[in-house]
């Protein structure tokens, strides 16, 4: 009978330790998933929007800093138009965007599509959906963490040699310090009230 009880107790200890390992593994998976959701590349349709925006902004900046009109429309022009870049130089990106935005967009798209077809491009959820997904994962992480913490409390109470995670230990220590500080403030306030002061 004693041997049977001892075996049952050993099985309980083993199953508790196994459960703790499983919970901690799940917590690690959830943290990794949160990180992945937050850092994955944006979907292709967002990349396309960003290309259009980039071309538009480059064109606006170029138009605001350079002008062909002064040279091209000058009444004293003799010879060719004075370009804001040298004839032997390639056309500036801003000028291309301002003069032929469709061509500029096509160039960027071609370059990006080549890179996006590589294994490095891993699109994730649309940006608008990410906060909700992260919130759901964080809620599950909190729930799993609370379960693991309670299981360890019970295991320690039963004499099992197991420790809380560092973050649990430090959180509880901070909470205890804050509780002690608040008690000291409350006690000091009551003393002032008895003495007839409110400050």
Q: Which one has a higher pLDDT value, 78 or 187?
A: 187
Q: Kindly state the greatest CA–CA separation across the chain.
A: 115
Mean pLDDT of the chain: 83
- Where are the chain's structural domains? 41-123
What does the block give as tokens for 178?
């804050």
Contact assessment for residue 112 and residue 45, using Cβ atoms and an 8 Å cutoff = no
Residue of 186, 39, 47, 68 whose CA lies nearest to 115 = 47
Q: Structure pTM?
A: 0.64
Alpha-carbon distance of 191 to 187, in angstroms, equals: 6
Alpha-carbon distance of 148 to 134, in angstroms, equals: 21
What does the block give as tokens for 63?
């138009």
Tell me the per-residue pLDDT of 107-156, one tens digit each, with 9 for 90 and over: 999 988 888 887 788 899 999 999 999 999 999 999 999 999 999 888 88
Q: Which stretch of 73-82, 99-108, 154-163 has the lowest confidence by average pLDDT?
A: 73-82
Confidence class of residue 26 from pLDDT cuts 50, 70 and 90? very high
């Amino acid at each position: 009978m004693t041997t049977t009880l001892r075996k049952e107790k050993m099985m309980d200890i083993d199953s508790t330790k196994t459960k703790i390992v499983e919970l901690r593994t799940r917590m690690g998976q959830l943290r990794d998933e949160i990180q992945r959701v937050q850092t994955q590349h944006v979907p292709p349709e967002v990349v396309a929007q960003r290309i259009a925006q980039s071309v538009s902004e480059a064109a606006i900046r170029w138009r605001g800093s350079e002008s062909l009109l002064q040279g091209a429309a000058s009444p004293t022009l003799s010879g060719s138009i004075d370009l804001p870049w040298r004839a032997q130089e390639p056309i500036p990106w801003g000028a291309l965007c301002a003069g032929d935005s469709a061509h500029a967009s096509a160039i960027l798209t071609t370059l990006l599509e080549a890179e996006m077809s590589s294994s490095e491009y891993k699109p994730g959820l649309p940006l608008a959906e990410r906060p909700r997904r992260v919130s759901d994962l964080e809620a599950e992480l909190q729930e799993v963490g609370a379960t693991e913490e309670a299981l360890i409390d019970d295991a320690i109470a039963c004499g099992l040699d197991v420790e809380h995670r560092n973050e649990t230990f430090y959180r509880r220590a901070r909470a205890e310090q804050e509780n002690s500080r608040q008690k000291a403030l409350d006690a000091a306030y009551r003393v002032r009230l008895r003495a007839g002061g409110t400050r």
